[in-house]
Amino acid sequence: MERDAAAKPLVMVVEDESALLTMLRYNLEKEGYRVCEAGDGEEALTILAERNPDLVVLDWMLPTMSGIEVCRQIRRKMRTRDLPVLMLTARGEESDKVRGLNTGADDYLTKPFTLPELLARIRALLRRARPTQAKGLLNYGDIVMDLAAHRVTRAGRQVHLGPTEFRLLRFFMQHPGSVFSREELLNAVWGPDIYVEPRTVDVHIRRLRKALNAATEADLIRTVRAAGYSLDAESAPA
Ligand code: CA
């Protein structure tokens, strides 16, 4: 829920030259971005599994795993599929540029570049990405909800939900950690004018749990006695 929690966009910089990394962090923070950094591709993928950057500045030439490979992996995962990637490289050859863009980079900047140039590209990419974000990807724990495609995955596995379960989960994911009574859920998910037995909520919660939780996965929906339900990973047994 990082994206909702803070208005400042989070930029991940993947770069093995520490002097350049320091310079980029300093200037991006000065511009009002939050910054997280990775020194190689594997670290980048680890961080991506834990955080939700709004954009990645990705160096092409990295030790062990190339920027191209990192980009490929970013595009392969549902959760990061639409994440804007700005590729940095020392190579200026047209064929490499084409290769980079084919791999899924959204833009491309050849080293050495000027700072205003970099900042302009970042701003442009974030602007372009905003419509996608408005349509929305919701993340909670290992659950990803793609509102546009009406698709839900948990730990990369496709979760099939009925329309009511989908709306129920969406509401929970928009308010993670909050407890809602059956009446509140009826109002929010079914609508205030629809008359349904409060017990109906239990039925749909049961279906949602069944669809969401594979055998070994923690139950992320918490039943709060006499109060209602919440989406809450903290209380789930690991
Ligand atoms: Ca490098």
Question: What whole-number percentage of the chain has pLDDT above 90?
Answer: 40
Provide the 8-state DSSP code for 195. Answer: -
Spatial separation of the C-alpha atoms in residues 12 and 25, rounded to whole Å:
9
Confidence class for position 64, pLDDT limits 50, 70, 90: confident
Q: Which fold has domain 136-235?
A: Arc Repressor Mutant, subunit A (1.10.10)
Ligand 1 center from residue 70 Cα (angstroms) = 13
Ligand 1 center from residue 40 Cα (angstroms) = 9
Q: What is the residue extent of each domain of the chain? A: 10-133, 136-235
Q: Are 123 and 102 in contact (CB under 8 A)?
A: no
Residue 73: strand, helix, or coil: helix
Q: Which fold has domain 10-133?
A: Rossmann fold (3.40.50)
Q: Are 109 and 80 in contact (CB under 8 A)?
A: no
Ligand 1 center from residue 60 Cα (angstroms) = 6
Task: Provide mean pLDDT across the span 207-228.
Answer: 89
Ligand 1 center from residue 80 Cα (angstroms) = 22
Ligand 1 center from residue 78 Cα (angstroms) = 27
Ligand 1 center from residue 39 Cα (angstroms) = 9
Ligand 1 center from residue 43 Cα (angstroms) = 14
Ligand 1 center from residue 12 Cα (angstroms) = 15
The mean of the pLDDT values for the chain is 84
Q: Given this model, what pLDDT does residue 91 score?
A: 63
Ligand 1 (ion): residues with CB under 5 Å are 16, 59, 61
Residue ranges of alpha helices (H) inside 59-197 are 67-76, 94-102, 115-135, 163-174, 182-185
pLDDT in tens, 136-187: 788 888 899 988 888 999 988 999 999 999 999 998 987 777 788 898 888 8
Q: Do 136-235 and 10-133 have the same topology in CATH?
A: no
Ligand 1 center from residue 168 Cα (angstroms) = 45
pTM of the model: 0.55
